[in-house]
Structure 1
């Protein structure tokens, strides 16, 4: 995937250019990026493309951490149901 397709608005690119950017700011930028990804784009492929381009030399950058975490599949939700789930202990 081309970098221009993975980061159409240039949000991730700009985050790597900001000196002193924090993890929280990177998380906020990531949410904006994720909401702007078109439905027909494979998000995981876009993330891998961004990491392949930006991670070398930026391993300690907070956006690298955010993008890497975004690739990890969430754990399957566990249901806490039954009577205990409704009324508590």
Structure 2
């Protein structure tokens, strides 16, 4: 993966250049970054590349990126009556 794909708007790069940036500001920038990725992007690969390229142990963005890598993927919604009754698409 290329840095231009991993950080298309340069948001993560710029966050590491801001002196005195706070954890809350990093979280906000991270959300903007996540929304700027292409739909089929390999997000874990992008996070690993950004950490390898920019990561510094003393910067709050490093912690945000690491936490994003450690978070399990979101659960899928089963939805509605079928989920309550234990139905799946396979069984109808």
- TM-score when normalising by structure 2: 0.76
1:45–1:19 CA distance, 2 compared to 1 (3 A): same
Q: Deviations over 1:15-66 (max 9, x none)?
A: 00000000000000000000111111100110001001011xx211000000
Deviation at 1:69, TM superposition (A): 0.2
1:5 & 1:45 partners in 2: Cα distance?
10
Question: Tell me, which stretches of 5 or more residues in structure 2 are unaligned?
Answer: 76-92
CA RMSD in angstroms, aligned pairs only = 1.6
Match of 1:44 in 2: 44
Match of 2:2 in 1: 2
1:14 to 2:27 alignment: no
User: Pairwise mapping of residues 47-58 of structure 1 onto structure 2 (< 5 A)?
Assistant: 47-55=47-55, 58=56
* Equivalenced residues, count: 75
Question: Tell me, which stretches of 5 or more residues in structure 1 are unaligned?
Answer: 78-89
Moved more, 66-75 or 33-42: 66-75
- TM-score when normalising by structure 1: 0.78
Deviation at 1:74, TM superposition (A): 3.0
**Superposed structure 1 runs of 4+ greater than 2 Å apart:** 73-77
